[in-house]
Amino acid sequence: MRKIKNIYQLLLVSISLILMASCSNTKSNEEKEYVEVKNNSNDITLNSNCPPGFQLNENNECVARNLYDQYVYDTYENRGVGGLKSGLPKIREGFSPQQIDLGRYLFFDPALSGDGSVSCASCHDPNQGFSDGKALGTGIHNAKMKRSSPTLWNVGYLKSLFWDARAGSLEQQMLGPLYSEEEMGNTEEQLFETLNGIETYRELFAKAFPNRDYNDSIQLHEVYTSIAAFETSLISLNSKYDQYAHGYHEALNENEIKGLNIFRSFVARCAECHTPPLFTNQQVAVIGTPEQDGLPLDPGAEITFNDPSRRAGFKVPTLRNIEKTAPYMHSGKFKTLREAVEFYTKGRGHAVPEGEDLFIHWHIWEPNLTDTELDRLVDFLKTLTDESFKPRIPKVLPSELKTKQNNS
Ligand code: HEC
Ligand code: HEC
């Protein structure tokens, strides 16, 4: 019986490894597709292949494919919250390769902002884990934002967006930055005018949205669809952790495995909220993190849900590529992962300002983790890094403005 089980395990591992190898093959092919040798925006063409991690179907739609497809998404029942073999929730998919690639250009193009100076990538830079390395985001005319810029890796799986969960879709979310005076400072009228004034964009949109007349003007909903399409292509599911989870035991070393076991233990309880494989259960939780010095308490999800019991509640963030996105928390208060992790062992409610009576989540308590255990947790969190599907940054944009990001 034991032997049969072993053979079965071996078989699974080999299948997984083959799958992984074929994934990385697609990657290198795709990368070639993405290399741009153009210097003139008139030469820009849209990729007709799906990004890595997606497969083209007969309707010219990209459908997500990954190793987690073999597990059913069953809201963790019977698998334990730290379960290695749990499935992923449904992803937004079905965009065409052309829409995804057009979204890539839009994402990096400062022409989308009021004065041509800020793009989505200014605050969500692929070279900084799709964040910006700052505690609080900085927008147009150096306006300071109230919260830190979250990563966009795996954002296509999320049901609600923003730290306070106030947006229900990617399309709804992006209206925030596009038209906020503190971020990209644009207006619908101006964005419409700008894009329709750029010949290359008119051609590219006509190709990405072939169901309308070629000479019709670009519609704003097409802009939102394309950017959302690009965002859903940012997949990170092939980290050392994922290889371990699919049966390749050597992918993690001894310290990292110790860290994983602390992470999913009933003492630390991290996995109750940062549930694999996304490392978020997508719920809002009040955990009582501190603000930047001198700033008032951020009411967070209390406003979204008009519910005082959610005061200072925030969406549980993913921990994928967490190594790349310091500083941490909605406030950017913690400069290192070690500091962020240590927060959890300093005592329930220790950072809550006087006079506030927050409904702190019952999984936040006093696990009394030792320094060594905190170090192991950090070791483990670093195994969640995978940027192999990082998209190419366009060398030339349809607007012919310059991107501030470099391919590296
Ligand atoms: C000036 C910096 C800045 C710019 C520009 C910007 N963002 Fe953001 N982004 C942020 C910050 C800060 C947040 C968190 C705000 C909050 O939760 O209240 C955020 C949140 C998000 C989220 C939610 C992620 C999550 O996990 O909930 C998405 C998606 C996103 N931005 C996409 C975009 C797109 C697309 C653009 C371009 C249209 C863009 N952002 C432009 C700073 C920026
Ligand atoms: C009750 C749910 C809950 C539990 C349990 C929990 N977290 Fe969190 N975690 C959150 C929430 C909510 C945030 C965002 C809080 C904020 O921004 O103020 C967060 C943020 C983080 C961040 C920063 C993420 C970022 O992008 O800035 C790290 C790192 C982290 N948690 C690690 C851990 C570890 C390690 C444990 C176990 C010791 C743990 N968490 C336990 C809910 C939880």
CATH of the domain at 50: 1.10.760.10
238 Cβ below 6 A of ligand 2:
no
pLDDT band at 25 (very low <50, low <70, confident <90, very high): very low
Q: Whose CA is nearest to atom 11 of ligand 2?
A: 316
184 Cβ below 6 A of ligand 1:
yes
Say whether pLDDT at 233 is over 90.
yes
- Give the whole-number percent of the chain exceeding pLDDT 90: 81
Domain assignment of residue 375, given as a range: 240-384
Q: In testing the pocket of ligand 2, which one of 295, 329, 383 has its CB within 8 Å of the most ligand atoms?
A: 329
CA distance 19 to 77: 27
If you average pLDDT over residues 218-242, what whole number do you get?
A: 98
If you average pLDDT over residues 249-268, what whole number do you get?
A: 96
pLDDT band at 82 (very low <50, low <70, confident <90, very high): confident
| 185 lies in the same domain as 117 | yes
**408 within domain boundaries:** no
**91 within domain boundaries:** no
Closest-lying ligand to the alpha carbon of 234? 1
**pLDDT digits over 316-330, tens only?**
999 999 999 999 999
Cα first-last separation, the chain: 50
| 186 lies in the same domain as 214 | yes
Structure confidence at residue 78 (pLDDT)? 57
Q: How far, in Å, from the CA of 317 to the mean position of ligand 2?
A: 7
pLDDT band at 39 (very low <50, low <70, confident <90, very high): low
Considering 202, 232, 262, which residue would you say is the last residue of a domain?
232
| 218 lies in the same domain as 268 | no
**377 within domain boundaries:** yes
Say whether pLDDT at 53 is over 90.
yes
| 269 lies in the same domain as 315 | yes
CA distance 345 to 277: 24
| 210 lies in the same domain as 256 | no
Structure confidence at residue 350 (pLDDT)? 94
| 179 lies in the same domain as 153 | yes
| 188 lies in the same domain as 57 | yes
**How many domains is the chain built from?**
2
316 Cβ below 6 A of ligand 2:
yes
Q: What is the pTM of this model?
A: 0.92
Considering 232, 253, 271, which residue would you say is the last residue of a domain?
232
**295 within domain boundaries:** yes
Between 96 and 41, where is the model more confident?
Answer: 96
Six-digit token string for 302: 């209390």
**74 within domain boundaries:** no
Q: Whose CA is nearest to atom 19 of ligand 1?
A: 149
**400 within domain boundaries:** no
**320 within domain boundaries:** yes
Q: How far, in Å, from the CA of 177 to the mean position of ligand 1?
A: 6
Q: Whose CA is nearest to atom 41 of ligand 1?
A: 120
325 Cβ below 6 A of ligand 2:
yes
Q: Whose CA is nearest to atom 6 of ligand 2?
A: 270
**pLDDT digits over 285-310, tens only?**
999 999 999 999 999 999 999 999 99
Structure confidence at residue 79 (pLDDT)? 65
Mean pLDDT, rounded, of the chain: 90
Say whether pLDDT at 76 is over 50.
yes
- What single letter denotes the amino acid at residue 325? T
Considering 232, 254, 289, which residue would you say is the last residue of a domain?
232
| 42 lies in the same domain as 60 | yes
CA distance 247 to 16: 8
155 Cβ below 6 A of ligand 1:
yes
| 197 lies in the same domain as 273 | no
| 182 lies in the same domain as 133 | yes
Q: H/E/C letters for each residue in the chain?
A: CHHHHHHHHHHHHHHHHHHHHHHHHHHHHHHHHHCCCCCCHHHCCCCCCCCCCEEECCCCCEEECCHHHHCCCCCCCCCCCCCCCCCCCCCCCCCCHHHHHHHHHHHHCHHHCCCCCCCHHHHCEHHHCCECCCCCCECHHHCECCCCCCCCCCHHHCCCECCCCCECCHHHHHHHHHHCCCCCCCCHHHHHHHHHCCHHHHHHHHHHCCCCCCCCCCCHHHHHHHHHHHHHCCCCCCCHHHHHHCCCHHHCCHHHHHHHHHHCCCCCCHHHHCCCCCCCCCCEEECCCCCCCCCCCCCEHHHHHCCHHHCCEEECCCCCCHHHCCCECCCCCECCHHHHHHHCCCCCCCCCCCCCCCCCCCCCCCCCCCHHHHHHHHHHHHHHCCCCCCCCCCCCCCCCCCCCCCCC
If you average pLDDT over residues 232-253, what whole number do you get?
A: 97
Say whether pLDDT at 383 is over 50.
yes
**pLDDT digits over 157-213, tens only?**
999 999 999 999 999 999 999 999 999 999 999 999 999 999 999 999 999 999 999
Say whether pLDDT at 74 is over 90.
no
Between 12 and 174, where is the model more confident?
Answer: 174
pLDDT band at 71 (very low <50, low <70, confident <90, very high): confident
| 221 lies in the same domain as 315 | no
Q: How far, in Å, from the CA of 316 to the mean position of ligand 2?
A: 6
**19 within domain boundaries:** no
Structure confidence at residue 22 (pLDDT)? 41
**Contact criterion met (CB below 8 Å) for 229 and 237:** no
Report CA 126 to chain centroid distance, whole Å.
Answer: 10
**pLDDT digits over 123-157, tens only?**
999 999 999 999 999 999 999 999 999 999 999 99
Say whether pLDDT at 32 is over 60.
no
| 192 lies in the same domain as 60 | yes
Measure Cα distances from 351 to 144, 147, 263, 355 in Å: 23, 17, 22, 12
CA distance 281 to 275: 5
300 Cβ below 6 A of ligand 1:
no
Q: How far, in Å, from the CA of 34 to the mean position of ligand 1?
A: 25
149 Cβ below 6 A of ligand 1:
yes
Six-digit token string for 38: 């153009």
Say whether pLDDT at 367 is over 80.
yes
Q: How far, in Å, from the CA of 175 to the mean position of ligand 1?
A: 10
373 Cβ below 6 A of ligand 2:
no
